[in-house]
Structure 1
Amino acid sequence: MPKINGNEIRPGNVLEHEGSLWGAVKVDHVKPGKGGAFAQVELKNLRDGRKLNERFRSADKVERVRLDQKDQQFLFETDGMLTFMDSETYEQIALPVDILGDRRPFLQDGMVVHIEYYGEEALNVTLPQKVVCKVAETEPVVKGQTAANSFKPAILDNGVRVMIPPFVGTDEDIIVNTELFEYVERA
């Protein structure tokens, strides 16, 4: 694995640090008035989700890890495990539900996701950024409320609450951003 200097760390990089795999979430380059410059890096453990703030000087060497990405199709869920299939080799893999965290409701049957592997170990599942959902219930439109940029609460068919524009009604398909849990547009 290639070693990089501490000042070359970028958000999204995966590092091997203290015997574990960490993803760089946020990187701030600091040049204090006295002393050498350093990178203040917020790290997230890819295996258990712990967070860590670490300082890396430019002279510090860290291992940068490359993860293999595969597109896999979601098949079904049983006993708290999600089963995915590689569309090229047709091999199946079962991963725990909590690997998706609060994005779990957006996973739909047959959806193709990106799974990142370190060797044979699956570390992360990335959903498509935009997903089509149906509005299950929302408030009716109130006349005269369209002048201002106003939104109303809605519950989607997967149980997630989002804010939608007043012109969207019940049983309409909308596109939702899975990272921000926000309405994007009508489908």
Structure 2
Amino acid sequence: MAISTADFKNGMCIEYNGKLWTIVEFQHVKPGKGGAFVRTKMRDVRTGRIVDNTFNAGTKFDSVRMETRKMQYLYNDGADFNFMDNSTYEQEAIGADVVGDVAKWLKENDDVTLQYAGDELIGIEPMMFVELEVTETEPGFK
């Protein structure tokens, strides 16, 4: 589905130059002379890099359907992290390279949110608060 720059909203996901981008900020500008344009700050969905772009008003882009799924983290089998969909009870194995730094916050049976762009997994959000147990600590120095 094609959308215009007039339809931009913060958090919207678009396809631009073959990449998926999330709109962080946008501003419509109508100068005294010349045509209107839109200044945007966009985040690359895969790399997290933020880029400033300027588009002419009315420029069309392909909209990307973003979907979030609530899942439960089950276990790590060494190569993959296994999650279960809370609504369908289907299990999904996700590679450690995709999970990345989120792995240190995952505890068995915790709920997480997986973000998809179409059928492609683009992000994993752990719970906002995690309760972990301290098993060992160095003695304090005075």
Question: Equivalent residue for 2:44?
Answer: 44
Q: Tell me how far 1:139 sits from its aligned partner.
A: 6.6
* Cα gap change, 1:56 to 1:139, in 2 (>3 Å): farther
Once residues 129 and 95 of structure 1 are traced to their aligned partners in structure 2, the CA distance between those partners, rounded to angstroms, is: 21
TM-score (normalised: structure 2): 0.76
Check whether the contact 2:115–2:122 (CA below 8 A) recurs between aligned residues.
yes
Which of 14, 20, 27 is the aligned partner of 1:29?
Answer: 27
In the TM superposition, structure 1's runs of 4+ consecutive aligned residues that sit over 6 Å from their partners are none
Once residues 22 and 138 of structure 2 are traced to their aligned partners in structure 1, the CA distance between those partners, rounded to angstroms, is: 38
Once residues 140 and 122 of structure 2 are traced to their aligned partners in structure 1, the CA distance between those partners, rounded to angstroms, is: 43
Deviations 1:48-77 (A, max 9, x none): x16343223321122222222211111111
| RCO higher in structure (CA 8 A, sep ≥6) | 2
Question: Equivalent residue for 2:17?
Answer: 18
Residue segments in structure 1 that go unaligned for 5+ positions in a row: 143-187
Q: How does 1:125-164 map to 2 (within 5 A)?
A: 125-135=124-134, 136-137=136-137, 140=140
* Cα gap change, 1:138 to 1:29, in 2 (>3 Å): farther
Q: How does 1:1-187 map to 2 (within 5 A)?
A: 1=1, 3-24=2-23, 26-29=24-27, 31=29, 35=34, 36-46=36-46, 49=47, 51=49, 52-135=51-134, 136-137=136-137, 140=140
Secondary structure of the residue that 2:89 maps to in structure 1? coil
Check whether the contact 1:71–1:86 (CA below 8 A) recurs between aligned residues.
yes
Secondary structure of the residue that 2:133 maps to in structure 1? strand
Check whether the contact 1:83–1:92 (CA below 8 A) recurs between aligned residues.
yes
TM-score (normalised: structure 1): 0.60
Once residues 34 and 129 of structure 1 are traced to their aligned partners in structure 2, the CA distance between those partners, rounded to angstroms, is: 48
Check whether the contact 2:8–2:26 (CA below 8 A) recurs between aligned residues.
no
Residue segments in structure 2 that go unaligned for 5+ positions in a row: none
Once residues 100 and 53 of structure 2 are traced to their aligned partners in structure 1, the CA distance between those partners, rounded to angstroms, is: 25
Query: One-letter code of the match for 1:78?
Result: D
How much is the aligned-residue C-alpha RMSD, in angstroms? 2.8
Q: Considering only CA atoms, is the larger Rg found in Structure 1 or Structure 2? A: 1
Q: State the aligned residue count.
A: 138
Deviations 1:150-173 (A, max 9, x none): xxxxxxxxxxxxxxxxxxxxxxxx
Deviations 1:25-61 (A, max 9, x none): x214263676433222222133xx1634322332112
